[in-house]
Amino acid sequence: MCDARRVSSEPTYRAKTGAAPDRAALAKVVARQRAELDRLRDEAAASAVVERATGALMALTGRGAEAAHEELLRRAKAAGRTPAEEAWLTLGALAPPPGQACDGPATASATAAQGAAPAEGNATGHEAAVTPATAARGVALAQEATPSQEPAAAREPAAVQEPAAVRESAPGREPAVDAAGEAGGSVRTAAVQALFDALPGMTLLLSPLRSATGAVEDFRIDAATPQAVDPAGRRGRELIGLRILECRPTVAGEPLWQDWLDTLDTGEPYTSEPYVRLESVGGGQEPATYSVRAARLDGRLVVTWRRQDASDRQEQLLADLQRLGHLGWATWNLVTGEATWSAQVYALCDRDPGRGPLRLEELADLAVPEDGPALARAVREIRTEGKQFDVPFRIRTAAGDKHLRAVAEAEPDAAGRPVQVHGFVQDLTAQRSAELALLESEQAMVAQHGILQAERMIAGRLQHALLPLPRRPLRLAGLRVDLAYLPAQSGIHVGGDWFSAIELPDGDALFVVGDVAGHGMDAVATMAQLRFTAKGMLFTGSSLTGALTRLNTLLLHSRDSRGTATLVLARYDPERRRLAWAQAGHLPPLLLRGGEARFLDRPRGVLLGATDTPVYEEAECLLEPGDRLLLYTDGLVERPGESIELGLERLARATAAHRSDAPGSLGPLLAALLEGERRDDVCVLDVRVPTEPA
C-alpha cells in the first residue's frame, strides 16, 4: 500500500501545419517533466519507508493492509508529522529479538529496521507489547513489501556500518552514543544511522548539548542522511559527531536557532517559511528554494531540509495569486459529477469547507434571487453547448451583500461534448463599492449642476430685466454715454455688477456703478434693491453721501445681514460742468484729458454693509470739452495672483492708447484689456464731454 500520489498532466501543443515548433514552449514542457520526475522519485523513496512501516503494523496489530495503512496515517495526523516521518518512528520503535546476532548478513535487515527508543509517554501511539516473534515477522513483511528499496548499507553487518569516527574519539568530535549511555547504545546508534541511510532528502538527528545551567549551547549530529551536506562538503556519515555550530557557525544568529529551541521545549513541530539560497550547479550558481522542518524525538531533534521543486513553487505562486487577486479556482467533472474547490473559493462564497463544494448546477443557488436566473442560464449553456461565461452575481452574507464574479470555460471530449468545466470565482465587492460611490457622486454632481444651471438661467433673465442695455449711446445732460456689461465666462453663476445712467428732473445727469459681493439669486436680489433705492433717493433730493449712508443701513438690515457691496455715485451739473461724486469702497473713476490718463483722488468711504457707523465724503471735478471719464467694476482690472495696482496701470495705458472719439470705441478698449477667460462680471460707463456744445 502506498500514499495517494498527485498526478499532473502537461498541456498538448498542436503544431500548425507548416509551422516550426515552438522551442521555448517545448523547453518549458521538458523542464516541468523533469521536475515532475524528481518529485515522483522522492515520493517513491518515501513511499518505500511507508510500505515497510505498514507491513510492521500488520504484524504487530494483526490488521489487514488497508487498516494498518490507515492507522499509520492517523498517528501521523495526530502527532503533526508527515506519513514518512511517522513511518521512520514506527520502524525505529521495533525492538531486536533476544539473542539475535547483529553482525550477520541474515540479520542485517532487522538491524536496519531498528531505531531509537520510543518517545517518552509513548507519544507515537505504538503498542506497548512487542514480542520478538511479532517484531521479526513485521520486519520480514516490510522487507518482502519493497525488496528493491533496501539500501546496500542496511544489508551490511553492524560492525561495518559503524564508522571509525564514532567508535574512536577524535579531536573536535564526540561519540554519538544514545541518551542512556548503556553498552547497547552503539548498536542502537548504528541502527538509527542505518535507518537514516535509507531516508531521502537532507535530514539530521541532533542531540542538545547543555551548559551547567541547562541552557542549550550547541547540537551534536547523531545521524545524517546521505544527502545531508555542510558548507565544507562533508556528507552523510562524515557529519556524525560534529556539532552544528562547527558545521554552520552562522545558524546561532538566525531565527531558525530559536525555533529549534522552542520545538525542543514545547514538542510542537516547526516548519519554516520557504527561503532561497544559491547552490553550485555545473560550475555556476543557481537559486534553490528550501523549507526546514523540526520535530522533537526522545529529547532530540529530527531536522529536515526539504527542497521545493518547480511544482511546489508554482503551487505557492498560485496561492499568492489567489490571495492577492481575491479569487479562487474551481473544477467540475461533468462525467463523474465530482467538484473541486480551492480553499479561497469556500472563503469567497462564505461556505463551510466541511460541507464540500457545490455541483455546477447548484452554483446559482448561492446568488440572490435577482441574480440567480442569469447565473443559472450561463451554467445551463456551458453544460449543454460548452459556451464560456463571465457572470457577476451577489450573495448574502452576515456582513452584507458580497459582489462576486464567476468565469468558466468547458473542456470538450473528442466528440466536442463538454466533459469538464474549470474556472474561477473573484470577489469584486471593494471594486463595486467604489463604483457605486462614484456613480452616486456623479449623479449628485449632475443634479447639482442642473439646479445651478436653472438658477443661472432665472437669475440671468432677472438681471436682463433689471438691467436693460441700450442699443446705442445715451445723450444725458449734453454728454454722450456708452455702456457695456459683460458677464463672467467661468462658473455658472451670474454676478451682482450693475449700473444706472439717468437724467434727473432738474436736468443733472446721475451715474451709478456698483458691485454686490457674491453670485446667484441672492446677489441679483441685493443688486435690484440697491439700484432702485439709490435712484429713488436721488430723485427725491438726497445728497450723494446721505444716499450712501441710507443704503448702508438698508444693507445691514436686509435678509442677508452679512452681505456687502461697493458703489460709486456721480452727479453732473451741465451748466457749471461740475462733477460731484462719492464712493463706498469702490475703485476711483479714470479721467482722460489731453491724451493723459489719471485716476481721481478718492474721498473717504467704506464699503456698504461693513459697519453701522460709516463716514462718507464728497469730491468734485470740473470737466472740460474733450474729457473722457470711465466708471467701472473690478472685473475690468483684477487678475488672479496680481495686485490691483498693476491692473489699474494697465487700464490707464490702454485708455491713453485708444483715444478714438467715434461711437463704439469702447469695444476695442475692452478687447485689449480682457484677454483670455473672464472670471468676473465687467460693467463700464464711458462718459464723453463733447468738444463743442450740443
CA distances from 291 to 76, 230, 257, 272, 445 (A): 19, 16, 14, 6, 56
> Domain boundary residue among 260, 277, 312?
312
The tens digit of pLDDT for each residue in 588-639 reads 999 999 889 999 999 999 999 999 999 999 999 999 999 999 999 998 998 8
Query: Phi/psi zone of residue 172: left (φ > 0), alpha (ψ -120 to 50 degrees), beta?
Result: left
Does residue 16 register a pLDDT over 50? Answer: no
Q: Is residue 665 part of a domain?
A: yes
Mean pLDDT of 673-686: 83
> Domain boundary residue among 396, 412, 427?
427
* CATH number of the domain bearing residue 505: 3.60.40.10
- Selection from 267-281, 316-330, 335-349, 671-685 with the highest mean pLDDT: 335-349
Q: Is residue 290 part of a domain?
A: yes
Does residue 539 register a pLDDT over 80? Answer: yes
Identity of residue 114: Q
- Selection from 304-318, 324-338, 504-518 with the highest mean pLDDT: 504-518
The tens digit of pLDDT for each residue in 57-85 reads 877 777 777 888 888 888 888 888 888 88
Q: Is residue 267 part of a domain?
A: yes
Q: Is residue 2 part of a domain?
A: no
464 band by pLDDT with thresholds 50, 70 and 90: low
Helix axes 666-673, 644-657, angle to 10 degrees: 140
Output the pLDDT for position 323: 67
Percent of the chain beyond pLDDT 90? 30
Output the pLDDT for position 552: 93
Rg, Å, the chain Cα set: 49
Is residue 458 packed enough to be buried (19+ CB in 10 Å), middle (13-18) or exposed (0-12)? middle
In a shared domain, residues 145 and 44: yes
State pTM to two decimals: 0.42
* CATH number of the domain bearing residue 122: 3.30.450.20
594 with 604: CB under 8 angstroms?
no
In a shared domain, residues 346 and 485: no
Output the pLDDT for position 224: 92
In a shared domain, residues 272 and 352: no
In a shared domain, residues 289 and 234: yes
CA distance 484 to 667: 8
In a shared domain, residues 273 and 362: no
Mean pLDDT of 45-62: 78
The tens digit of pLDDT for each residue in 135-169 reads 344 444 444 443 333 333 333 333 333 333 333 33
Does residue 694 register a pLDDT over 60? Answer: no
Q: Which domain holds residue 111?
A: 23-312
In a shared domain, residues 304 and 347: no
In a shared domain, residues 334 and 307: no
> Domain boundary residue among 252, 281, 312?
312
In a shared domain, residues 269 and 347: no
The tens digit of pLDDT for each residue in 181-200 reads 444 555 567 778 888 888 88
Residue that has been written with the C-alpha cell 520557504 in this structure: 274
Q: Is residue 510 part of a domain?
A: yes
Output the pLDDT for position 448: 85
Output the pLDDT for position 186: 58
Q: Is residue 448 part of a domain?
A: no
Average pLDDT of the residues of the chain: 77
The candidate with the shortest Cα–Cα distance to 418, out of 392, 391, 379, is 379
Output the pLDDT for position 428: 85
Q: Is residue 5 part of a domain?
A: no
Q: Is residue 524 part of a domain?
A: yes
Number of domains composing the chain: 3
In a shared domain, residues 113 and 220: yes
The DSSP code for 305 is E
In a shared domain, residues 413 and 372: yes
In a shared domain, residues 271 and 301: yes
91-100, 120-129, 340-349, 502-511: the lowest-pLDDT one: 120-129
Burial 333-358 (b: 16+ CB within 10 A, else e): ebeeeebebbebbbebbebeeeeebb
In a shared domain, residues 307 and 414: no
Please report which helix (H) or strand (E) contains residue 165, including its range. Answer: helix 164-167
